[in-house]
Amino acid sequence: SAESSIPEPQRAAWKKNTPQEFQTKDEFLSEAVRHIETTLARSLFNCDESAAYGGTALAFRDRLVMEWNKTQQNQTTADQKRVYYLSLEFLMGRALDNAMLNTNMKGPAKDGMGELGFRMEDLISQERDAALGNGGLGRLAACFLDSMATMNYPAWGYALRYKYGIFKQEIHDGYQVEVPDYWLDFNPWEFARHDVTVNIQFYGGVRTYQDDNGKTHSSWEGGEIVEAVAFDVPIPGYGTATTNNMRMWSSKAHSGEFDFQKFNSGDYEGSVADTQRAETVSAVLYPNDNLDRGKELRLKQQYFWCAASLHDIVRRFKKTRKPWKEFSNNVAIQLNDTHPTLAIPELQRILIDIEGLEWSEAWEIVQNTFGYTNHTVMQEALEKWSVPLIQHLLPRHLQIIYDINLNFLQYVEKKFPKDRDMLRRVSIIEESEPKRVRMAFLAVIGSHKVNGVAELHSDLIKTTIFKDFVQIYGPDKFTNVTNGITPRRWLHQANPRLSELIASKLGGHEFLKDLTLLNKLENHVDDKAFRKEFQEIKYANKVRLAKHIKNTTGVSVNPAALFDIQVKRIHEYKRQQLNIFGVIHRYLAIKAMNAEERKKLAPRVSIFGGKAAPGYWMAKTVIHLICKVGDVVNNDPDVGDLLKVIFLEDYNVSKAEIITPASDISEHISTAGTEASGTSNMKFVLNGGLIIGTCDGANIEITREIGDSNIFLFGNLAEDVEELRHNHLYGKYELDDGLRKVFDAIQAGRFGDANQFSALVNGIVDHGDYYLVSDDFNSYCKTHDLIDESYKNQEEWLTKCITSVARMGFFSSDRCIDEYAEMIWNVEPVKPKAEQVNGG
Ligand code: F58
């Protein structure tokens, strides 16, 4: 092993001086206070909550780093295949509570800080979210890191260290305003590795030359260099000592790049400007979800991060001194969507141009190494990069992509002779003006497995965007791994009381590592005391959310009302517009009721949250409408507690931890066939809320698991969407009566200036209603009536909630990771060494 090469006296000196991990409250406190005094240079007299948070976080960081070191050494010694999860987004949220949970030291830390006069909840909420992601895709990556560490898989995440994460959302007069999220001014969780750098090349040209044997070689030369610097974040597992690594790359000017020529000739400013240009590569997360905008800087980000990560992976492999044919037995790389697809031509380039392998030998390694996860079938979200842009930025990669395409098309030609149209359809190069590289096709061709993220979605990719590829490669290349969520964050941390109640019934917290154990809860569904406690917990969580609503919006809501929640990115396909039209429909109905009828109605609070991409006008209009409806409804004395409409500002991971446990019903109402999976649907049910949803994404599997009497499904099916859209375009439909009245109210100006909403209404009435709002409106409203009825029978409702929780075991991200490990990566866990006792 690496250690045995070090002389005994040095080893002894090191061991003797290795810092001890704190094990008790007092040891914790002495570490935390030391950090407050020295690292933060604060004293007893100016130790505020933020300093107390800082000291606590730094004490825990030290502990994680110790475990991290041991884990890395242990995994290197074990010399097993490693997984590298390449994702341009990791939506991690806060880390402190998770670190305390996974080191099993929350109790002592809480007591210790209590002695200093601080409440742990307050300290936890001092932390800013690490928000390096847009939505589901980025949060999935974060859940996967948690699961991989928890199950001892030797795995690294590779990320881009954006200086600005997803923007903060403010609502001013009912309009979204974006504020930059500069999150790095104090980030105790990262560990700068100024010695781990990679030079990344851009632009330049390709030189071809012949060697002495007459063989042709290509070499990418010239252009400019940007330096990638590694920052590492420890990722602790739960109930294990394993602490994996997330490596984030930050861009800076290449040390030789501060242009001394410019500097010496007096162009100091020009030289500084170059430095700043290098830093912009990792400056900002693009805030679009499910939309491809094709910006040059985005392509630069993608290459920068892929090239740095691959260089790192290859460097690590070369240390093993194994032959190249062993590469894919040592390395599995998972591509989280097509954003890292450039890793495919980059690895091919490294192998043929730098390491001197033959094309076919290299290509086999590449294909065996990569797996690709698709997250969408929507055309506007599929990445296509313009050929001239790639030519300019990455000239050698473009050549390699063309060669990959040539080989591929020759293969297809052999298999399907004379099918010209097939060749046109499957070509990596789209013959448009300008030509474009279809990244999803490149990802399919360069990987050995392609997966969708829920059953319906995985079926759909095989019959739509990748149909031809199923013909070409056979169906086995395509598979499904239904998404999941980590029960540590989304049950235990977000809903500690529920987690404790479950633990008390199941005899411990084992279910947090094996979520299928929840099924034992069904034995307690008739247990009176259990039911009462379950209900009280839900109520307490609603009280907590009601306080948050009061603090942030000024509106008082009744915690006894039915909380109806839709929180996710604002997008037409997710249909927040359907929801708000439904709310208006309800409002109009209430207005038309007499006192007797009103008495019978179950009070409701309709809660929305989510960010709109800054350039997505329709999404912003939807936010505006929600806010305007809120203004009217919440101030209408006729309505009172019967209906409140809330838009929660700046929905993010830490707010989700407050919102999710407080829902009675949540909305997952995308047009059938558009939401690949959804993951918040899983979070809500796991926290004892029911859902209303369409037959889309993972809603279908949730229904299968919990039973169709425990979910409120409505609306048209995916298989009928095409025909319905066709009908709209050819006038073969009639606008639903209820929806007509809603539109009349909007157009009459009852929610402010009607012009503001005309595009929203016209899109449905005149422009084909692409997302089929009118087709599903009636069934949606009827289903909400059913929910009202159902909620009145509190006992039955409670039974549904408890039964559903008990049946959610399938949706742990631990199960996903085991599936990836077995079907796609072919990797095994590495047990932590016995001396690593942390967390049991
Ligand atoms: C989401 N995609 C899917 N993309 O919409 C959701 O159904 C699924 O549950 C989730 O992935 C996890 O599989 C998503 O969040 C993005 O935000 C991309 C960000 C970068 C630009 C393109 C969209």
Asked whether 578 and 773 are in contact (CB, 8 A), the reply is yes
The pLDDT score that the predictor gives to residue 260 is 64
Residue with structure tokens 């996710």?
A: 568
Residue at a domain's end among 454, 482, 510: 482
Task: Flag whether 758 is in a domain.
Answer: yes
CATH number at residue 88: 3.40.50.2000
User: How far is CA 792 from each of CA 558, 584, 789, rounded to the nearest angstrom?
Assistant: 16, 22, 5
Query: What is the average pLDDT score of the chain?
Result: 96
* Cis, peptide link before residue 434, omega less than 30° from 0: yes
Q: Tell me: the pLDDT tens digits for 408-435?
A: 999 999 999 999 999 999 999 999 999 9
Residue 586 confidence (pLDDT) above 80: yes
Nearest ligand 1 atom to the CA of 134 is: 17
Alpha helices by DSSP H, 94-213:
96-102, 106-115, 120-124, 136-150
Q: Tell me: the pLDDT tens digits for 157-214?
A: 999 999 999 999 999 999 999 999 999 999 999 999 999 999 999 999 999 999 999 9
Kindly report the protein residue whose alpha carbon is nearest to atom 2 of ligand 1.
137
Distance 136 CA to ligand 1 centre (A): 5
Q: Tell me: the pLDDT tens digits for 271-310?
A: 788 888 999 999 999 998 767 777 999 999 999 999 999 9
Nearest ligand 1 atom to the CA of 670 is: 7
Across 242-281, b (16+ Cβ under 10 Å) vs e yields bbbbbbbbbbbbbeebebeebeeeeeeeebeebeeebeeb
Distance 135 CA to ligand 1 centre (A): 6
Which residues fall within 8 angstroms of residue 792, CB to CB, at 6 or more apart? 602
The two structure tokens encoding residue 354: 């730098």
Handedness of CA 616, 621, 622, 626 (dihedral sign): positive
587 shares a domain with 465:
no
Instruction: Classify burial at 102, counting beta carbons within 10 Å of its beta carbon; exposed 0-12, middle 13-18, buried 19 or more.
Output: buried
Distance 678 CA to ligand 1 centre (A): 8
Across 116-126, average pLDDT:
98
387 shares a domain with 321:
yes
Domain total of the chain: 3
Across 76-97, b (16+ Cβ under 10 Å) vs e yields beeeebbbbbbbbbbbbbbbbb
Distance 383 CA to ligand 1 centre (A): 13
166 shares a domain with 137:
yes
Distance 675 CA to ligand 1 centre (A): 9
339 shares a domain with 286:
yes
Residue at a domain's end among 462, 482, 502: 482
Task: Flag whether 310 is in a domain.
Answer: yes
Instruction: Residue 695: name the closest of 664, 673, 679 by CA.
Output: 673
Three-state DSSP state, 430 = strand
545 shares a domain with 404:
no
Kindly report the protein residue whose alpha carbon is nearest to atom 14 of ligand 1.
137
Query: Regarding predicted confidence, which is higher, 260 or 469?
Result: 469
Which residues fall within 8 angstroms of residue 188, CB to CB, at 6 or more apart? 54, 57, 58, 61
User: How far is CA 774 from each of CA 161, 712, 722, rounded to the nearest angstrom?
Assistant: 43, 19, 15
437 beta partners: 385, 429
For the CA atoms of 140, 618, 183, 491, the dihedral, rounded to the nearest 10 degrees, stands at -40
421 shares a domain with 539:
no
Nearest ligand 1 atom to the CA of 88 is: 20
712 shares a domain with 659:
yes
Nearest ligand 1 atom to the CA of 290 is: 23
Kindly report the protein residue whose alpha carbon is nearest to atom 22 of ligand 1.
290
Q: Tell me: the pLDDT tens digits for 65-104?
A: 999 999 999 999 999 999 999 999 999 999 999 999 999 9
Asked whether 373 and 333 are in contact (CB, 8 A), the reply is no
The pLDDT score that the predictor gives to residue 840 is 38
Complex-level ipTM: 0.98
User: How far is CA 806 from each of CA 487, 688, 705, rounded to the nearest angstrom?
Assistant: 13, 9, 10
Confidence band (pLDDT; 50, 70, 90) for 223? very high
654 shares a domain with 739:
yes
Residues catalogued as catalytic: 375, 568-569, 574, 679, 683
Kindly report the protein residue whose alpha carbon is nearest to atom 12 of ligand 1.
137
The pLDDT score that the predictor gives to residue 259 is 61
Distance 89 CA to ligand 1 centre (A): 10
Sort strands 243-253 and 155-160 into parallel, antiparallel or unpaired. Answer: parallel
Q: What percent of the chain has pLDDT over 90?
A: 92
Ligand 1 cavity residues, CB under 6 Å: 134-137, 140, 288-290, 375-376, 381, 453, 483, 675-679, 697
320 shares a domain with 424:
yes
Nearest ligand 1 atom to the CA of 140 is: 12
Task: Flag whether 11 is in a domain.
Answer: no
The two structure tokens encoding residue 187: 């980030």
Range of the domain at 519: 487-797+806-811
Instruction: Residue 776: name the closest of 626, 690, 671, 681 by CA.
Output: 671
234 beta partners: 245
Residue at a domain's end among 415, 448, 482: 482
Task: Flag whether 5 is in a domain.
Answer: no
Question: pTM, whole model, 2 decimals?
Answer: 0.97
646 shares a domain with 625:
yes
Of 285, 288, 376, 669, the residue with max ligand 1 atoms within 8 A of its CB, to mutate for a pocket test, comes to 376
Q: What is the DSSP string of 563-623?
A: EEEEES---GGGTHHHHHHHHHHHHHHHHH--HHHHHHSPPEEEEEE-PPPTT-HHHHHHH
